[in-house]
Amino acid sequence: MNKKTNNGLKIICFNRKASFNYFFENLIEAGIVLRGSEIKSIREGRVNIADSYAVEKNGEIVLINSHIAALKQASYSNHEPTGERKLLLNKKEINKLIGKMQRDGFTLVPTKMYFKKGKAKIEIAVAKGKKQFDKRATKKNRDWNREKARHIRKTS
């Protein structure tokens, strides 16, 4: 899925489930603290952020449950595939995110991972969970748009 866009971003992976399960308030770009074997696996595209989320731990934002496959060549210095990874944000941004999570009940969900100028970045969404009826409405709207496009194609 290594797709290069026109603004210099090389997209590594998307979190497609996030837009279905959450309402996004805003998106934030963050760096990630990675080891050598982790960045090599990411460059190979062996990463999954579908079930991951970010939490506050000791005044820092930490990405949990993101899977970066272990590298065969890194014998003793290999990394843990689903370990916690620290996100690089300004102190002001961290305090704002912590306040949103504690007061307003928002959660931090990664939406995509990409390379920007050779550095691995992750896009974090400040999100609120959808209820079941919201998910049904989203699915119904998507099906209707698909059916409408088919109908327009047939009549044209």
Q: List pLDDT tens digits, range 80-96.
A: 778 899 999 999 999 99
CA–CA separation, 82 and 65 (whole Å): 5
* CATH number of the domain encompassing residue 10: 2.40.280.10
Please report whether residue 145 resides in a domain: no
Number of compact structural domains in the chain: 1
Please report whether residue 141 resides in a domain: no
- Please give the structure tokens belonging to residue 65: 């449950």
Q: Quote the mean pLDDT of the chain.
A: 87
Please report whether residue 60 resides in a domain: yes
CA–CA separation, 140 and 66 (whole Å): 30
Please report whether residue 61 resides in a domain: yes
Contacts of 149 (CB under 8 A, 6+ apart): none
C-beta separation of 27 from 124 below 8 A:
yes
Please report whether residue 40 resides in a domain: yes
**Number of helices followed by number of strands (H, E) in the chain:** 4, 10
- Cα–Cα distances (Å) from 37 to 55, 63, 109, in that order, read 24, 17, 24
Domain that holds residue 106: 3-130
pLDDT single digits (tens) 61-119: 999 998 888 877 766 667 777 889 999 999 999 999 998 888 888 999 999 999 998 89
C-beta separation of 87 from 28 below 8 A:
no
The torsion of the CA quartet 129, 94, 57, 65, rounded to 10 degrees, works out to 50
Element (H, E) at 92: helix 91-99
Rounded to two decimals, the pTM is 0.78
Contacts of 9 (CB under 8 A, 6+ apart): 114, 115, 116
Please report whether residue 62 resides in a domain: yes
Please report whether residue 142 resides in a domain: no
Please report whether residue 153 resides in a domain: no
